[in-house]
């Protein structure tokens, strides 16, 4: 059961919401995708969209935040890194209760190509292509030269087909570990604690530790160290930053501790590794 009966038709977008539309008039190439309109949305505050009998299919890729989804299957909170499928003719409500939500979305025409994909999709599935699709559509929005848009359009079509062709059936634990890895790689300079890592994916520190032992045969902290050492190896070979600067970039304020850890992990001191072939 849910709070919407009968299904409404609503469009509420508050002043804190930012939406960038990509349509067939401004970007004629979208017509080749059988896509009437699409958009990149950064939402906060008041946001609610509902359709009782939509004429088009819609797909929504969640990039950050969370959204409340109501459909004929019930109600669920959809977090980032998921694909929401909203078939034509099927009612839905999406509303924002979290502080913010970043999404990229597409209204797809009812045609054989998209009908085939949409009818096989679950209403919500994990998707690890959301960032790529988000940035590609953003690039297409800002690029006015149709010739320069072509490579991005080609990539966008490929990613959409890939995302819809084979929904990701990765386990919840594997999905969350993947999400955590993305967070860690973006902020290797941050002094992560295990409980902070666990909070990022709504697990306890103890459960996170068990998961990492099961998946990687190592603790979360050792996994983080390995990510830092891989980044340090790359920077030593591909930048002219000093060892002190590289140490800070990968989370070590003390260059001596960094050098000690690097040699233990890689087998060479940072300076010698930089000079090696």
Which pLDDT value is given to residue 40?
97
**From CA 64, how far away is CA 14, in angstroms rounded?**
18
Which pLDDT value is given to residue 116?
87
Q: Residues of 103-121 as b/e, b for ≥16 C-beta within 10 angstroms?
A: bbbbbbbeeeebeebbeeb
Going by the DSSP 8-state scheme, the letter that residue 267 receives in this structure is S
Going from the C-alpha of 144 to that of each of 132, 141, 150, the distances in angstroms are 20, 8, 11
Which pLDDT value is given to residue 173?
86
Which pLDDT value is given to residue 179?
86
Which pLDDT value is given to residue 83?
95
**From CA 259, how far away is CA 252, in angstroms rounded?**
9
What the chain holds in terms of domains, given with CATH numbers, is: 10-165 (2.60.120.10), 172-275 (1.10.10.60)
Which pLDDT value is given to residue 205?
93
- Report residue 274: phi and psi, to 5°: -60, -35
* Best CA proximity match to 49, nearest among 87, 76, 11: 11
**From CA 274, how far away is CA 234, in angstroms rounded?**
10
* pLDDT profile of the chain (277 residues), mean per 10: 83 94 91 92 95 95 95 93 94 94 96 88 90 96 94 94 77 85 92 93 91 91 95 94 95 95 94 88
């Amino acid at each position: 059961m849910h709070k919407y009966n009968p299904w409404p038709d609503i469009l509420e977008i508050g002043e804190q919401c930012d939406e960038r539309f990509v349509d067939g008039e401004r970007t004629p190439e979208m017509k080749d995708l059988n896509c009437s309109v699409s958009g990149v949305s950064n939402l906060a505050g008041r946001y609610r969209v509902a359709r009782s009998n939509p004429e088009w299919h819609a797909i929504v890729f969640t990039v950050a935040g969370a959204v409340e989804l109501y459909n004929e299957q019930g109600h669920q909170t959809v977090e980032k890194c998921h694909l929401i499928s909203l078939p034509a003719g099927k009612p839905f409500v999406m509303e924002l209760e979290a502080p913010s939500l970043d999404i990229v979305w597409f209204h797809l025409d009812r045609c054989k190509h998209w009908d085939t994909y949409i009818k096989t999709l679950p209403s919500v599935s994990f998707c690890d292509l959301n960032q790529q699709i988000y940035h590609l559509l953003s690039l297409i929005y800002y690029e006015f030269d149709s010739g320069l848009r072509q490579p991005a359009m080609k990539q966008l079509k490929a990613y959409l087909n890939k995302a819809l062709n084979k929904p990701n059936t990765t386990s919840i634990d594997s999905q969350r570990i993947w999400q955590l890895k993305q967070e860690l790689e973006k902020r290797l300079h941050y002094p992560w604690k295990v409980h902070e890592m666990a909070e990022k994916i709504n697990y306890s520190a103890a459960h996170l530790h068990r998961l990492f032992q099961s998946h990687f045969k190592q603790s979360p902290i050792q996994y983080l160290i390995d990510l830092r050492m891989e980044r340090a190896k790359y920077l030593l070979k591909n930048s002219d930053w000093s060892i002190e600067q590289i140490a800070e970039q990968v989370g070590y304020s003390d260059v001596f501790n960094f050098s000690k850890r690097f040699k233990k992990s890689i087998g060479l001191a940072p300076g010698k590794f930089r000079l090696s072939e």
